[in-house]
A and B are shown apart, each in its own frame.
Chain A
Amino acid sequence: MIAIEFLRYRNLTIDALNIHPGITTVIGPNGSGKTSFLKICAGITLPDHGIVTIDNLPPRETEIGWVNEFPDRNILFARVIDEIASPLRFRRATSCSAIDEEVRACTESVGISHLLTRGVRELSGGEKVLVSLAAALVHHPKVLVLDEYDSHLDARCAATIDGAIRASGARYVIRCTQQMDTARESDHLLFFDSGRVTHTGRPEHVFQCLKGTAWYPVLWEYGI
């Protein structure tokens, strides 16, 4: 379980929150603290106050895959193949042939084998996101934290990625999206407003609380 207690950071105020294994989707208005929350869960940012533990360990002692909401801020290397291989190469615990095999399998699962030899600069926005996702998945993290990863993806591509995420073996997936059709396919939803988690629970419960707002899926009430 991911346990959060007395968290304070910028406008974020969370006194107690538990996140269970599975896919947890974070939704809410721009500027409500979603990205800050994800960065704290990923160990990128330390809170001003409070404690976050992932199965009793701090985030920075946990294997985490991370995708930034700014596609260009994810990428370190000039070539796609080097970018995706980098998490494994940094470990220095895997042979070159094993890394090549992991990269090949990962790019196949994300549907970007054709991009492996390309330079990163020539990629479209959506392709950059896919490369970042592959780099986040390639080392089989325990926790996958994805910040608006789908805002540059078409529907078919998003479906492929969804399959790859579910097959990744990550114990916890914490993702932020503005696509409510994606959010409804989650185990848990967290709705953020002004730095606080105002609704939490199963999608059917949270969306019921959001009826009449722009976050209520368009066809939800019709069972479609």
Chain B
Amino acid sequence: MKITLTDACGIRDNWSLSATGTFNEGIHLVSGDVGSGKSTLALMMAGLFPLSRGCVVKEDVSSCMLSLQFPELHVTGRTLDEECTSWGAPADDILAATGLTGRDETSPLSLSRGELKRLHLACVLAKDYDLLLLDEPFSSLDCGEKAKLCTTLERRSQGITIIFTHEQNILPRVFRIWEIVGSRLINCGRPPDAFLHWYHLPPSVKKLTAHGSRPDNISPQDLREAACRIHG
């Protein structure tokens, strides 16, 4: 199972993005500045943004899901019950898992943004997809929910998970790190060697490395272990 981009190019007005690379099974992290094209790349991978040249080829990928960065754009149900049902997900289970039990008849658009994001992600993650594209999945989630999401993603037994994010502190252990710099997708490699080339290296990893203790990966557990090594 893999998705391969070969000189895949998206153009919008005076802006363009070129991407080449192969994403195998595991968790991939894509970082980049605001406006660098992370969301557009996610759309290109999902087949929802026209390519001006190049191609995106999916091999042995039978199901794909794109979670947009704005959860409100996914809403189709008038109530939470309808919203869960529209995803083919059991409403009672989803509402219980997201702390929204008893609010079946509430409008999704009256939830706080964090609650809506939680509900949306629970609906997405209720099914297994071969290719899971998550655009800013951590935005609006509280710290506890971010940690739970990391655990859920790390437990996905198979498939390709690609996270497009600005999150700096609470991240899962990842297989490979990518970033968009100068309108191009760059393969930084696997942690921890990727840290040598990663322009968007999180400040906490940068600080630990400066103290002489490079973490093995980017999860909070990896950061704590690296910090423990400094302090014996």
B227 touches A178 (CB 8 A): no
Select one of B12, B139, B202 contacting A122, CB under 8 A.
Answer: B12
A152 touches B136 (CB 8 A): yes
A102 within 8 A of B: no
**How many residues does chain A have at the interface if contact means C-beta atoms less than 8 Å apart?**
37
Docked CA distance A30–B34 (Å)? 24
Docked CA distance A151–B136 (Å)? 9
Q: Which residues of A have CB within 8 Å of B61?
A: none
Known A-B contacts A30-B118, A30-B141, A71-B70; the reply to A219 vs B227 at CB < 8 A is: yes
**How many residues does chain B have at the interface if contact means C-beta atoms less than 8 Å apart?**
49
Q: How far is the CB of A184 from chain B (nearest CB, A)?
A: 11
A4 within 8 A of B: no
Docked CA distance A69–B227 (Å)? 33
Residue of B nearest to A123 (CB): B35
B169 touches A31 (CB 8 A): no
Q: Which residues of A have CB within 8 Å of B117?
A: 30
B114 touches A31 (CB 8 A): yes
Between B35, B118, B207, B211, the greatest number of chain A beta carbons within 10 A of the residue's beta carbon is seen for B35
Q: Which residues of B have CB within 8 Å of A151?
A: 136, 138-140, 166
Select one of A157, A213, A222 contacting B144, CB under 8 A.
Answer: A213
Interface membership of chain B positions 134-148, coded 1 if the CB is closer than 8 angstroms to chain A and 0 otherwise: 001011111111110
Q: How far is the CB of A178 from chain B (nearest CB, A)?
A: 6
B203 within 8 A of A: yes
A180 within 8 A of B: yes
Q: How far is the CB of B74 from chain A (nearest CB, A)?
A: 13
Select one of A35, A122, A130, A153 contacting B13, CB under 8 A.
Answer: A122
Q: How far is the CB of A85 from chain B (nearest CB, A)?
A: 21
Q: Which residues of A have CB within 8 Å of B34?
A: 124, 126-127, 130, 152-154, 157
A219 touches B204 (CB 8 A): yes
A140-178, CB < 8 A from B: 148, 151-157, 178
B144 touches A214 (CB 8 A): yes
Interface membership of chain A positions 63-77, coded 1 if the CB is closer than 8 angstroms to chain B and 0 otherwise: 000000111100000
Known A-B contacts A30-B141, A126-B34, A219-B223; the reply to A224 vs B114 at CB < 8 A is: no
Select one of B112, B146, B211 contacting A31, CB under 8 A.
Answer: B112
Residue of A nearest to B211 (CB): A224
Q: How far is the CB of B22 from chain A (nearest CB, A)?
A: 25
Docked CA distance A73–B44 (Å)? 26
B118 touches A218 (CB 8 A): no
A37-78, CB < 8 A from B: 69-72
Q: How far is the CB of B6 from chain A (nearest CB, A)?
A: 25
Residue of A nearest to B201 (CB): A155
4 shortest interchain CB distances as A-B pairs: A30-B114, A126-B34, A214-B143, A151-B139
12 A-B contacts (beta carbon < 8 Å): A30-B112, A30-B142, A34-B112, A124-B39, A126-B35, A148-B140, A157-B33, A157-B34, A178-B146, A218-B170, A222-B231, A224-B208
- Contact surface of A with B, Cβ cutoff 8 Å: 28-31, 34-35, 69-72, 122-127, 130, 148, 151-157, 178-181, 213-215, 217-219, 222, 224
Known: A123-B35, A125-B70, A155-B202. 16 other contacts (CB 8 A): A29-B142, A30-B112, A30-B114, A34-B112, A70-B113, A151-B136, A151-B166, A152-B69, A154-B166, A155-B166, A157-B33, A178-B114, A178-B146, A214-B144, A217-B169, A224-B227
